[in-house]
Structure 1
Amino acid sequence: MTIIDGTAASTGSPASATTEVLRYTAFSADPAGGNPAGVVLDASGLDDAEMLRIAAEVGYSETAFLTAPPEDAAEPDRSFTLRFFSPLAEVSFCGHATVATSVALAELRGPGDFVFTTRAGTVPVSVVEHDGALRATLTSVEPHTEEAAPEDVAEALAALDWPAADLDPAFPPRIAYAGARHLVLGAATRKRLAELDYDFDRLAALMQKMGVTTVPLVWRESESVFHVRNPFPVGGVVEDPATGAAAAALGAYLRDRGLVGDDATLALHQGDDLGRPGRLEVTLRPGDSRVRVSGTAARIA
């Protein structure tokens, strides 16, 4: 296995004992902000159990594991297979760990385009240098939205301890997908969002039943500015500070509901209430149903 400079995460097995785990925060240029992710740039010697153990030991909401690309990859030196593990389970797609991985690769190989094969599908990422910082833009897989069962919404509100009156009627509850499924709920006020305190086990049980990864809680500040919080109990994490996969799903949701136009650039503020502020940029383009999510990343010492 090629050893990349980083902090070792030893789980006691011979392969994982020498595995180097880089630590980055995504959607912030400040290591104290954004959402931390583990990044393993060579996971070729790891099996599923070892990847899960490493993710649990790292303790971040997700750790990304990079291996060789499919045999038919057009550019093998810029193409990879990418998998994501939370401390409790594998996740089909993780946006912030994709951004972190892309910036880590760009620091080694230079800015440019990368292509990742994930469990959710093919995710291209472009990394550019801007004002001395590397900025990654991922393009989601094909997104869609669907109805959420009223009984599931009622149970989610009960787990959150939110009265139905605290929902924003302009944001009807829906399940949105852009690589992973998310239950989107709109908060009527910023105060409601700031006072998040939920029943961890109850919400986790509902999310497992529904097959959703996070519950994006959204408050709209202006036409293009949103504040978001993302409970993630199914991953063993109370809350994700900045969530790229959910941001892509939210972009699809907002467009499908007619809440934003087909040509829009949205600013998502997340992590402020956790003391880890991050900023995600979501871009929608006319004639292209896919959603783009952009942000910076910084190495955590």
Structure 2
Amino acid sequence: MTPKPRPEILRYTAFTTDPAGGNPAGVVLDAAGLDDPAQLAIAAELGYSETAFLSAPPAGLGGAAGRAFTVRYFSPLAEVLFCGHATVATAIAFAERHGPGELLLATRAGTVPVTVAEENGVLRATLTSVEPAVLDVTERDVTRALDILGWSAADLDPAFPARIGYAGARHLILAAATRARLADLSYDFDALAAFMRDLDLTTLQLVWRESEQVFHVRDPFPVGGVVEDPATGAAAAALGAYTRELGLVPPDAVLTLHQGADMGRPGELTVELRAGDPRVRVSGTGTRIAQTVAGR
């Protein structure tokens, strides 16, 4: 029997229009027939923090015909419940082939609507998170995280208490007191991975506030097999929920997050909060990376 060829595997980067910037993701627009080991193998082969796989939607999912899907995300090491940058990358890849509009994605974390619009000839995707939550974290766990990072309590901004933010995945949010502290990131990879598994964290969301609505962020991601995520949509949504929950921004706010510059892959994420709506919107551009892995 002739083996079934692998589907087309695309490479896109999210939250930038520069193929050398933002956060790269694998995108498989037709993952029908790929089992879990095959999806994990593709993600490991690409080596990106996540690869997204689209397949038929679950029964009963609404949305326009042909624009509703099940989506699963795999890092090189394991499945991830939700990934923002791979969602943006997937939506832009789909829109380039089928036109802008609405997508409805059934993720393991819940249903995520995505809108793709063309602005001045550039496609921009906006995802709406699942309902977020902001959770307390113990002083002991914060101390453990700081020790692994090589930070001290004096390195933290007291206006931003440590919390776990959730908007499809869990992120420990720690705010640096200075941009220099954020820029100097070096940590014990295995120790941080073990710590994150203990707390069921996807990344650490390390932030520094430049101005009222402008933040710089970094996201260590050892549980996914990579040192750092260059642009993290799920963590951006969690940060948006955190800033609202703690009254650090107005009920209606648009935040700009700069991420990846310290890695040489700058990207920009936009986070929108709307009064009366608990869900968080995260938007950004994206572009294709030239190389495509053909079925083989």
The aligned counterpart of 2:279 is: 290
Residue ranges of structure 1 left out of the alignment (5+ in a row): 1-12
Per-residue CA deviations over 1:141-161 (Å, capped at 9, x if unaligned) read 000011011111111001100
The 8 Å contact of residues 69 and 76 in structure 1, kept in 2 or not, is answered as: no
Letter in 1 for 2:32: S
Distance 1:44 1:174, change over 3 A: same
State the SS of the aligned residue for 2:165: strand
User: In the alignment, which of 106, 129, 151 is matched to residue 140 of structure 2?
Assistant: 151
The letter for the 1-side match of 2:28 is V
Question: Is 1:141 aligned to residue 130 of structure 2?
Answer: yes
CA–CA distance in structure 1, aligned partners of residues 11 and 81 of structure 2: 20
* Partner residue, 2:176: 187
* Paired position in structure 2 for 1:95: 84
Distance 2:224 2:209 in 1: 26
The separation in 1 between residues aligned to 2:90 and 2:19, in whole angstroms, is 15
1:36 matched to 2:13? The reply is no
Question: CA separation in 1, counterparts of 2:147 and 2:228?
Answer: 18
Q: Take 1:201 and 1:76, find their aligned partners in 2: how far apart are those partners?
A: 45
Counterparts in 2 of 1:1-301, with a 5 A limit? 14-15=3-4, 18-74=6-62, 75-301=64-290
**Larger RCO (CA within 8 A; separation ≥ 6):** 2
SS in 1 for 2:195: helix
Residue 14 of structure 1: CA displacement?
Answer: 4.2
- Percent identity of paired positions between Structure 1 and Structure 2: 69
Q: Please report how far the alpha carbon of residue 70 of structure 1 lies from its aligned counterpart in structure 2 after TM superposition.
A: 1.5
Instruction: Give the superposed CA RMSD.
Output: 1.0
SS across alignment from 1:192? helix
Letter in 1 for 2:27: V
In the TM superposition, residue 76 of structure 1 has moved relative to its aligned partner by 3.3
For the residue of structure 2 that corresponds to 1:72, the secondary structure is: coil
Matched positions, count: 288
Superposed CA offset, 1:199-233 (max 9, x none) = 11111000000001000000000000000000000
- Write the distance in 1 (CA, Å) between the matches of 2:159 and 2:73: 33
Matches of 2:155 and 2:7 in 1, distance apart? 46
> Helix, strand or coil: the match of 1:33?
coil
Q: Give the match's secondary structure for 1:25.
A: strand
Q: SS at the partner of 1:208?
A: helix
1:148-202 per-position Cα deviation (integer Å, ceiling 9, x unaligned): 1111111100110001100110110100000000000000000000000111111
Specify the SS of the correspondent of 1:215: strand
Normalised to the residue count of structure 2, the TM-score between the two structures is: 0.96
Deviation of 1:19 after TM superposition, in Å, equals: 2.6
